[in-house]
Structure 1
C-alpha cells in the first residue's frame, strides 16, 4: 500500500461492486459510516496500488482532519478473514506493549496501524454481504516509496524490517494463526507451477518459453530454506510476509522508517523470507513493473545498506546459521516471486491484479532477470554479508 491517491481509471477498476463512480462512492460512505469513526466523513478516495485488497483513505471533517484506511479484503486470497484479523489484533497489542517499554531512539518514532471496530460489534471487521471490510488508523506524516533511490533509503528500509522483527522477537508463534497455508513455501509454489503448466491454455510465446526454461534450470533451489527448517537449522518466528519497499513507511520530514503496513500476511515463518523479499524489492532500481526487464539488475550497494540497517536493529536476534543462509534467501525470494507471477499467468491471472493482458508474465520476467543478476554477483554479495557479520 502506498499512501498516495491512484488514478481515477485505476480506482474504477479497483472499486467495490459494479455501477457508476457515484454509486461506488455512496457504498463506500455507507460502509465507512458503520465503523466507530468519531466524526463526519468529508471524503473517501482510492489509496495505493496494491495487487490484492481494495484500499481507500477516509478523511473526516475537522481541523486537523483525522484520517483512516478502509480496506475490502480479498477473500479469495484470504479465505479465513477471522485469522487475518486475529493476527493483526495480536500483533498490534504486542507491539504497543513493547513500545510502551522502550523508546524508538533519538529523533525516531515507531507506529502500529490499529484496528477500529465497527459500531456495536465485538469483532474487528465488518461483513457486508459477501464482502469483508476493515478500518485502521492512518500513519500521518509518512510516505512509502515505489523504488529505493539512495543507499540512505535502503538503510532505512532494512532498519524498519529489523525493528519490526526485534519488537516481535518475544511474541510466541503460537499466538499467530497461519493465515495463508503454503505462503512462502517455495517447494509448494514449484508444485503449483508444474500443475498449472500441465493444464494451461496460455498462448505460447518466446517470453513464456524463456520463463519455463529458467524455472527448469533452477528447480533444485526451491527447497533450500525449507530443508534447513526441517533439519532444525532455521526456526519459525513471527514474520511480516510481504516487506517490500512500499510496505515500509518513512517519515516525510526525516526519512526515518516509522512503520510497516499491509499486515495481512503476518504469520509464523522464516525471517529469511522477509529479509530476502526486502532485498529483492529494494535492490531493483527499475522496480517490479518495468517493461525493460532485460535491463533489470540487482544493486549490491543497496543490498549492503539494507542488511546494515537490518542488523543495526535486529543483530541480537540472529544466529550464525541465520546469517549463513542470507544469500540463499536473497536469491530464492526473487525466484519464488517470479514463479508465483508465472503460475498466475498460466492460470489466467486469478491472484494478482492486472491492468493489461500478459502483465503477470512481464512481472515474472523481471523477477527471473533479477534472480540471474543475483546469481552473477554471488561472490560479491556473500563478501558483503561477511563484512556485516
Structure 2
C-alpha cells in the first residue's frame, strides 16, 4: 500500500514529526512528489527522483542541498521562520545522509513545506512577471559567489547548441519523406539561423561570458508566491548546475512572453509580449544588474531568442525522429509545437529593437 510505503520512507528522515496522511503533488512530469501531512506542522514534501532520467541522482541531490545551504547562509540574519520561507530547507536521514535509497534502488529526499504559498502556471499580468524576474534574479545573485565547478552536471549538454544541431542533423537522415516535406520551411529556418544561434555558446566557450550556478528550469510555476502575489522562493532545483545567465533569463522569457499555449495551432494567436518582457527584465535586473558584465547584459535579448529557438529545434528534431522523446497527443503534435516556437521567434525578431532598449 502506497501510504504505508510513504510513511516508512518518511520515517527514515530526521524530522521529529508524526506521519498523518499524504497528498500527491502532480505539478512535475518527471519525479514523484508527495505532500506529507503530519500531526502538527510543519508539513513536508517527499520526493522520489527519477533515476531513469537523471543518471547521477546522488549528485543531483547534493547539488540542491549545497545551493540551499549557501543561500541559507546568505539569509542568516533573517528570523528562522522567515528564512525558511525564502529558501528550500532539506531534512537529512536518521543516519545523516541527504537522501534515502530504498530496496528497489529509488532515491528519496525531503523538504520542509512552505505554507501559505501559491504558484502560477501562466503569467496573467505584469506584476507576476516582475516578481518572477525579481526572485530569479535574486536566486542568481545569492549564488553568484558559489563555485559552479563543484556542481554535478545533471543533464550533460542540456543547452549546448552544437549538440542540439547534431541531433537535428541526425534526425534529417532518418526522417520519413512525408515529414521532411512537411517541415521543409522549418528546416530551412533552422539552417538559416545556425550561425546566429551559436553566438552565445561561442562566447561561453571563449570565457567571455561567466559560467555560474544556473537553475535551468525557470518557468513561472517554479516560483512560490505569497497570498499577496509577492515572490517568496525559487523551487524545483533538481536541474541546478553550471551554466550561463542567458539560459535562465532566456527560458523564463520563452515561457512567460508567449501570448498563446506552447502547442497552440492558430499561429495568429502567437505573439511575443513586450510588456511582460519589460516587467520580467526590470525585476530580474533589480538586484542582478551589478553582477553582470557589459557583454552579459548586451546579450540578454539574444539569450531569449536562443532559448526559444533551442526549444523549437528540439520539438522539430523529435518530430523528424518519429516522436520518440516528448509525449504527444496526436501525430503532428511536436510539429505544431515547433511551428509555435518559430512563430514566437518571428514575433520576437520584429520587436527586437525595442527589447534591446530595455535594460
Q: TM-score, with normalisation over the residues of structure 2?
A: 0.89
User: Using a 3 Å threshold, how does the CA distance of structure 1 residues 69 and 270 change in structure 2: closer, same or farther?
Assistant: same
Cα distance per residue 1:157-209 (max 9 Å; x no partner):
11011100111111122332222220111221121222233234697387645
The answer for the alignment partner of 1:10 in structure 2 is: none
Q: Which moved more, 1:67-76 or 1:368-377?
A: 67-76
Distance 2:207 2:185 in 1: 36
The count of corresponding residues between Structure 1 and Structure 2 is 357
Offset of residue 263 of structure 1? 0.6
8 Å Cα contact 1:89/1:115 also seen in 2: yes
Distance 1:210 1:257 in 2: 41
8 Å Cα contact 1:126/1:134 also seen in 2: no
User: Using a 3 Å threshold, how does the CA distance of structure 1 residues 102 and 350 change in structure 2: closer, same or farther?
Assistant: farther
* 2:75 maps to which of 95, 99, 121: 99
Asked whether 1:317 is paired with 2:291, we answer: yes
The answer for the alignment partner of 2:137 in structure 1 is: 162
Distance 1:48 1:256 in 2: 23
The answer for the alignment partner of 1:14 in structure 2 is: none
Q: Which moved more, 1:270-279 or 1:219-228?
A: 219-228
Offset of residue 334 of structure 1? 0.5
The answer for the alignment partner of 1:68 in structure 2 is: 44
The answer for the alignment partner of 1:232 in structure 2 is: 207
The answer for the alignment partner of 2:231 in structure 1 is: 257
* 2:10 maps to which of 20, 32, 37: 32
Q: Which moved more, 1:351-360 or 1:132-141?
A: 351-360
The answer for the alignment partner of 2:317 in structure 1 is: 343
Offset of residue 311 of structure 1? 0.9
User: Using a 3 Å threshold, how does the CA distance of structure 1 residues 164 and 326 change in structure 2: closer, same or farther?
Assistant: same
Cα distance per residue 1:127-159 (max 9 Å; x no partner):
441422222222222111111111111110110
8 Å Cα contact 1:98/1:167 also seen in 2: yes
8 Å Cα contact 2:65/2:98 also seen in 1: no
Offset of residue 367 of structure 1? 2.0
* 1:186 maps to which of 161, 168, 184: 161
Cα distance per residue 1:85-136 (max 9 Å; x no partner):
1111210110000011479xxx999621122223335242434414222222
Asked whether 1:81 is paired with 2:51, we answer: no
Distance 1:265 1:370 in 2: 25
Asked whether 1:111 is paired with 2:93, we answer: no
Q: Which moved more, 1:53-62 or 1:219-228?
A: 53-62
8 Å Cα contact 1:190/1:222 also seen in 2: no
User: Using a 3 Å threshold, how does the CA distance of structure 1 residues 132 and 214 change in structure 2: closer, same or farther?
Assistant: farther
* 1:54 maps to which of 32, 41, 55: 32
Offset of residue 27 of structure 1? 4.2
Q: TM-score, with normalisation over the residues of structure 1?
A: 0.82
RMSD: 2.7
Distance 2:200 2:108 in 1: 35
Cα distance per residue 1:293-348 (max 9 Å; x no partner):
44211101110111111111211101111111011101000111122233344445
8 Å Cα contact 1:125/1:135 also seen in 2: no
The answer for the alignment partner of 2:114 in structure 1 is: 139
The answer for the alignment partner of 2:23 in structure 1 is: 45
User: Using a 3 Å threshold, how does the CA distance of structure 1 residues 126 and 352 change in structure 2: closer, same or farther?
Assistant: farther
